[in-house]
Amino acid sequence: MSALQVIATLPKNARESVRVALDNYQGVDLIDIRVLAPFAGPAKEMAPTKKGLSMRVAQLPALQQALADAEVKARDLGLIPEGDVVLADPDLRRLVAGLRERDIPLGWGAVDAALAEIDRLRAGGGDA
């Protein structure tokens, strides 16, 4: 991989964003999570700051697990509302997107149904 590949940009506050990207530095593949802020120039473009972190892509599964553990703890503490669902599994994201397209209300019942469908498909129970 040679060029920066932006995966997502999330709002941090009214002025800044957080960019998640894959990058390569001196032959090392990295996951880069960086704060973006308005550049002082006339175009006011968003530019990366020193705030952030870069890790070898090989460490991504451990980082993802740590973030998932933090999410569980935050939910246990009531810091994330019950209805806010983070969809890490790409199959689950596709199924939930399909539910939204059909105006099917999302809640834990819909997520449970989507997970059951994923399990069925992975077990060879039909095509997606």
Query: Between 122 and 83, whose confidence is greater?
Result: 122
Structural domains in the chain (count): 2
Cα angle 36, 23, 8; round to 5 = 50
CATH number of the domain encompassing residue 40: 2.30.31.10
- Residue 2: the pLDDT is 65
Whether 68 maps to a domain, the answer reads no
Q: Are residues 57 and 88 in the same domain?
A: no
pLDDT band at 114 (very low <50, low <70, confident <90, very high): confident
In terms of residue numbers, what domain contains 93?
A: 83-123
Residues in the chain: 128
Whether 67 maps to a domain, the answer reads no
Q: Is the pLDDT of residue 113 over 70?
A: yes
Q: Are residues 56 and 90 in the same domain?
A: no
Q: Are residues 44 and 87 in the same domain?
A: no
What is the pLDDT of the chain when averaged over all its residues? 81
pLDDT in tens, 20-78: 999 999 999 999 999 999 987 776 788 989 999 999 999 998 998 888 788 778 877 88
Whether 76 maps to a domain, the answer reads no
Structure tokens, 34: 């960086």
Whether 77 maps to a domain, the answer reads no
| Cα(92)–Cα(23) distance, integer angstroms | 26
- Residue 24: the pLDDT is 95
pTM of the model: 0.62
Report which residue type is found at 86. V
Q: What is the mean pLDDT of residues 80-92?
A: 65
Q: Are residues 52 and 12 in the same domain?
A: yes
Q: Are residues 57 and 90 in the same domain?
A: no
